[in-house]
Amino acid sequence: MAPLDIFAWIVLVVLVVSTVVVIAFMGSLPGVIARKRNHPWAEAVTVGGWVTLFLGFVLWPVVLIWAYVDVPANPRGGSAA
């Protein structure tokens, strides 16, 4: 193998590893944010982040916004349901 071939393989491995790291970070980001903010549906936000990331990425920003939006408390003090 020529030195240029070895360099090409190193670049390919670095690109693959960095792609996997970015996908893992983006998939877990909405869930981490929701858990830090004590979101009432943090588990659903986590699942939504992973599902939308792997099924087209179109609704991933919506899930990220959902991680920041909390349900307002009921002003009468009763349960919401």
pLDDT, tens digit, for every residue of 11-68? 999 999 999 999 999 999 999 999 999 999 999 999 999 999 889 888 999 999 999 9
Predicted pLDDT of residue 36: 95
- Tokens, residue 59: 């609704």
pTM above 0.75, yes or no: yes
Whether the Cβ atoms of residue 31 and residue 46 lie closer than 8 Å to each other: yes
Whether the Cβ atoms of residue 52 and residue 63 lie closer than 8 Å to each other: yes
Q: How far apart are CA 81 and CA 77, in angstroms?
A: 12
